[in-house]
Amino acid sequence: MRTANRLRTTLGLALAGVTVAVLTSACSIQDAVCGNDEYPVLAVGSAGSACVPDGEEPPKGYARYPEGKVPERVDDKWYTYWNTRTIDENGRTIEIPEEN
């Protein structure tokens, strides 16, 4: 009987550990701006962004974020910064006009 109880306890602890690991990793994925093997790009001349697979160029109308100003997580410094700005066709940072 003792062996069966130990086995149940061990299995219960293992299951709890796996559950915590899954839930913790799910939260970090949700907070990321893009998924694994992707990078964020910025809409040129307007509000908006997208994620592009690593190794691919941004689609037409999008550009890479300026070096050192790439948002990595939702609500981080650069994510918040780019909520009110974008870049123009010459790569200059511009303010996005507020909608009424």
Instruction: Give pLDDT tens digits for 61-97.
Output: 999 999 999 999 999 999 999 999 999 999 999 998 8
Which runs of E-coded beta strand occur in the chain?
A: 38-43, 49-53, 62-64, 85-87, 93-95
Tell me the pTM. Answer: 0.67
* pLDDT score of 24 more than 50: no
